[in-house]
Structure 1
Amino acid sequence: MSFLDHLEQLRWHIIRALASILVFTIIAFLARGFFFETLILGPGKVDFWTYQRLCDLGRLINSEVLCIEKLPFILQSRTLTGQFTAHITYSIVIGIILAFPYTFWELWRFIAPGLNISERRVTRGAVFFVTLLFAMGILFGYYVIAPLSINFLSNYQLAESIQNEFDISSYVGSVCMIVLSAGIMFQLPMVVLFLTKVGVATPALLKHYRRHAVVIILIVSAILTPPDVISQCLISMPLFILYEVSIFISGAVLKRQEKQLAKSKKENE
């Protein structure tokens, strides 16, 4: 295929990916009762699943401290178009989250034909594992980071006379960005896997720059999450674990490549 033919093919993959985002955006916009009232506003209610499980754990260890009895804040819309703008903006964010697996699949369909047989073999299951890690990140962000961050920030007061009255855009934006950021950052093992296969990353290199990675993870977590230490730590801890898992994955990939190389040398001899 010529360069222009490749561009034409890429254009259609991008169009289909954007179309999927548009479809899910429309669904999120129309089903606002479920996506906004139930899902997005859910972590701001004391009967949310995470709070209930924390309370069950508190009863198990005879400690009522873990029971969330109230979230002392109210949501407000301080501009005339505040709610409508938030509805449109974050319907798009929800559309991106829901369409992510299909979008990645479309882009992978464009990349995969350019790989040779060995490259296709080592990248087999890429769409599945990317989708799995993304889903794990989304669930972790929604059920762990978001509710604990909301609980911490809503209960934080400089003085008793100051009431927490959050703008709807601030609340919805924080929840959506926490969830989306967690889904994206959970792709760390796949990034390391790819870099290892192209010869950029090695277990020794990852171990050598572990301290640098810790600093980078903390900085990125601070940028992507609300400005509080709790959210930053909550998203950083699983990333530290994923980084260690990535070192193991990198080592396993190198061992497999060395075995294949040794096997090919024997066959040539």
Structure 2
Amino acid sequence: MTESAQSNEGREQIQIAKHSSGFAEDHAGDPNFMASLARGLQVIRAFSEHRRNLTISQVSQTTGLSRAAVRRCLYTLKVLGYVGEDSKRFSLRPQVLTLGHAYLSSTPLAVVAQPYLDKVSEVLHESCSAASLDGDEIVYLCRSAETRIMSISLLVGTRLPAYCTSMGQVLLSQLPRDALEEYFARVRLVARTERTITSVPELRTQIDKVRNAGYALLDQELEAGLRSIAVPVRDGRGCVVAAINVSTHASRASLDDMQTQFLPPLKACADALGSVLLG
């Protein structure tokens, strides 16, 4: 595992543990909130590309849940076929894919976007992706990958911080003002590289620029060597439902190249895709 991947994994562990430790407090007194279900979902989220086989202790450390709670969750998930066990180490089973399949199969964008992304990727010989905003993160819905640029694999379901990704900045720029200010008030800006924006005033200025320009162009803010450009996708009512981007290595395309060569086909793709999405 590279140093960058280890760093990303550490940040993900902290985020999962922080979220897990706070959910019970946030929903204390809510008679309709099922804490046991929330704990089970947290246990599933503990597994990732770099954490495929985990012990009870490791899941407990990652989620912030007690060993007893983790043991019961893993036992239940194992009985249901979502988790397997080998020598006291647990891993996800293919059955877990059914949890996301219902969403992907019922989301028009996820269903129809693939050929559009494939066409852009074929023309530019670079990776093209689509994502939506979920809380403070973007979630990859569809992807056409020419090459692997980042230290982590970007797959359907991958989550990344919105503030330091091109698709994230595009989607943030389309939020209502009050929702955006709430985001600025709670977001924790962590330096992923020396170019990452780490101050709220600077990020606010950047999001304003993205809103006015209609696209976001990021130069190595998420990971060293990674450049990306993104535009919004609007449905039949003109509402932004997702963002699409093209990413490349800094050695293959300058910022000017991305604006002159990548942006036009990316906008054309967003328009074509949006035209088939009903409002």
Give the structure, 1 or 2, with the largest relative contact order (CA under 8 Å, sep 6 or more): 1
TM category, shorter: under 0.3
Which structure has the larger Rg over C-alpha atoms? 1
Greater per-residue strand proportion: 2
TM superposition score normalised by structure 2? 0.24
